[in-house]
Chains A and B, each alone.
Chain A
Amino acid sequence: MAECGASGGGSSGDSLDKSITLPPDEIFRNLENAKRFAIDIGGSLTKLAYYSTVQHKVAKVRSFDHSGKDAEQDHEPPYEISVQEEITARLHFVKFENTYIEACLDFIKDHLVNTETKVIQATGGGAYKFKDLIEEKLRLKVDKEDVMTCLIKGCNFVLKNIPQEAFMYQKDSDPEFRFQTNHPNIFPYLLVNIGSGVSIVKVETEDRFEWVGGSSIGGGTFWGLGALLTKTKKFDELLHLASKGQHANVDMLVQDIYGGAHQTLGLSGNLIASSFGKSATADREFSKEDMAKSLLHMISNDIGQLACLYARLHCLDRVYFGGFFIRGHPVTMRTITYSINFFSKGEVQALFLRHEGYLGAIGAFLKGAEQDNPNQYSWGENYAGSSGLMSTSPELCPTQRTRSGTFDLLEMDRLERPLVNLPLLLDPSSYVPDTVDLTDDALARKYWLTCFEEALDGVVKRAVASQPESADAAERAEKFRQKYWSKLQTLRHQPFAYGTLTVRSLLDTREHCLNEFSFPDPYSKVSPTRAWELRQHPACRPQQTCQEALRTPTELGDSRADPAARRAVVRCEGRGSRCMGLGEPSLLRSTCPWSLPSGRGGSGPCPCPLPHPLAGLSSPSSRGCRTGFLVPVLLPCVWGHAVACQQSLDPLARRCVSSPTRPAPPSQGFQAKCSWASGLRGHVHGPDMCQPALAGQCPGFLSGPPCSAALLSWRGASGRGACPCSAWVSHLSTGEAERKWHRAEVLPGRGARPGLAGLGGEAAGPGEGPAGRERLRLGGQGCV
């Protein structure tokens, strides 16, 4: 820990501003491996970016070829797990208040080992002001980059790489945040950056953008005029005042002009006819709160109106808002959204970005890394090292703010190849792998968060057990516990912190936290043979509904020239079974090692009703492969295939497998989804880990071994994630007692958890007995 005095600080009496404590294992992590810096200095916040390499353990799964043998008889283990060291790239972003800049630069200087770095890319209005300081402290040459270019580069980057980056904000709906699916094509869009003034930029391609207009009424007007009117000096305090005020005391409303008659005219009486119209009198005093609120409305409405006018002129319906005026403040997002809806009559969407504050820093970093061509990689948010949305928002969670100090972090891990959409998906942008949106469903959220909390002890134990030779395993496992626990607590208060909360994202977060403390696979010591046996259940029957989400080979069309996709799509064909895997060709075989053993799931041809996926895969659709995610997708028709394919997938790839999207409109009735991601995960970690994921699809299968049927789920006409499986239905409709019963089955570390017990070889729960199987089978058939 370094206690650093901060420069400046002004006349504020707040002691926090004067000195800070930098916990190096949280902030400025991995500085010793850092190279290439970029900095974005705004009016009040500094954003620092750097690149580092992280060495960590990776669990590799090697599978054996079973072709020609009968797995039932020889009981050979189906795979083998080995742990290897791997070096991956990571991007770090740290955001802090400008007052700490000197302290932070000192800290970096003291901890920086790598001396190859010579230049630091700098952007933002303050870059000029702090140029000398940076050059002196870090001994790096400051290379100034254009603010807007950096902003747009950063915006393109997050829109492409971070799932659910953009969201709509609706104050009075539940949930307030509506995260957007990553669209395969992000262009064109309008970016409205509200700094001290407003810039409106039309972005057409990666490199082409145009400043189409702007306005001088922006954040600086709110701050400057607000300071004059209320004598309140700080921006955040002004917003706080505004959140408590009544603008109708200051504004002249339509009803003030029309009296009560506005109703008969079909006008909303609450519309503002004249901002500050009531203050045109000398004989009245106005409260600071009311004036601040009126000012906020005035500015937000004005920006929204102009944004709509520009969007209309340029025929755009997606408008992203950024800049310090927004900075995740619910009160400004609310007024901007209101204004956009009002002026566009719902035709234009006001979208906000989870990492809006980092755009400039990301862009500046990318400018400096241009020789590396970041587009040849994919990047993903590391939940373990990122603060999440609104982590420093005082109005949301005051204790949170104190705990995390005034620092906000974002880390992104690199995957060494670009990810693409699965070419077979009919409509990648409407494909939803998750059936239960925990951001939306408070009851389910509570349930699952509690599940994960209670399961934590068991996971910690397994993690320790997975590395018996390691001396510090217990210590690391305890750190993991603390980290994941605090993430779960954050998610309880802010379910939207990392986008839509799903069982999958909870698992991802756990995995990131485990990786953070070098536990690549806590289940590596679990007997594979045992796991394999469980996977051979007859209920593991693919669902006809798979087909509905996929194109037929003929629909793939002729545009199949994309070599990346071609490389990615590989044929696996096993004895009598058909499946498809996407991954590195070298890791896949011409024959599938995991063909369905005869006599187990059924002999002869695989019952998978999918059309042969290989027809035409020598030239997959380039349309689906241009951008986005989803290289490694598997048809879960036979479980073993997934194991074969997962070899090529690092955690990031697995995470990116799914591109969660908007739920299908309820009017479409029952729509089946295949949950690829969860299927993969199940195999990667073994059923123990995947229990919650599978259960997220259909807890009915918790009582038995995981099966492909569980991967297929239904979205009912109600729009609520529900499987026709009676267990889940009853879970949703019954009370606490029922839920507890279910949880008892789900949670590791308890007796009555058959699926888990089966894997761990510990206890014999009802799911393992004949009755359990029978129940499962029925459940499986119910889904068909």
Chain B
Amino acid sequence: MDVVKMSNVKDKTVFIVGGSTGLGKEIAKELASQGAHITIFGRNQKRLDEATIEIDTAKQSENQVITAVSADMSDATTVRAVFASQPRLPDILICNAGGTSTELGFLIDLEPDVFERCMKNNYYTSLYPARAVLKAWVEDDRDSKALAKPKERKIVFVNSTASLCPAPGYLAYNATKSAQRALAETLRLEATRYNNPKSTYKVQCVFAHNFISDTFLIEQQNKPSLTKRLENTEGDLKMLEKKFPYAEKIAPEIVDAVAKGDYAVLDGRFESQIVWGVGMGGSPKRCWGVWDVLLALLAMFAWPFERRRWGFEK
């Protein structure tokens, strides 16, 4: 268990892949307000520029450095070059790129190129940055001097309740999130091997549940009606607002939960907790695991009824 429960991000450097819109941007703003230096990575220069202004406005002090880099983070060579050219190694890497605005639907309605594209956007954009940064950290440990307190090095993968409770209509996306989750869990174990007096390594996984953002609204236009019914996202924006929070509401909750240090990170809603209960499986339990085990037992009871409702809906 962590001795220092609340991790302080003041003066720390944070890289956020997929930090120019939605949840990534809101997390960037929250971290900026807590004193961190932020570099966001994305593909769209215009969105990056707009996001930089917003994040800059949120910062705590003038010493904080807020920058943006436009690059295709799903390409291994590009990622390596882009990270190598940064002035500083990050303390925290947040892999937030992803989403599925144009890959929704049932298997036989999709074109085959959709699957590779979805995997690129959601899995490789986590994989290559994580690998590049982990490699750089391990090399830095070899060459650097020991400090009074070990450096805290952290990778946070932003995953989804899609990997806990897959819903129909998200076939392409669910698989990519399952892949990202398997990567996060395996890496968590592997990373602990690199712990040494100079640095401690931590891997965390955020299971984000449905929230409202620009990407979500585009998704809604492409989503099959059946999917909307099953995941309770039917209705216009006004109705959705009643049921789901905006990204800016859950971002601070997520940042807080990340600071607590547990592997699995959820936002504050009870619904998210129950979905975690259903799908946690062999994943590391939070804290001592008591609450998570109870959740899982409760969910095991309740889930078959929900699943049967889905069956009937179809």
A and B part of one assembly: no
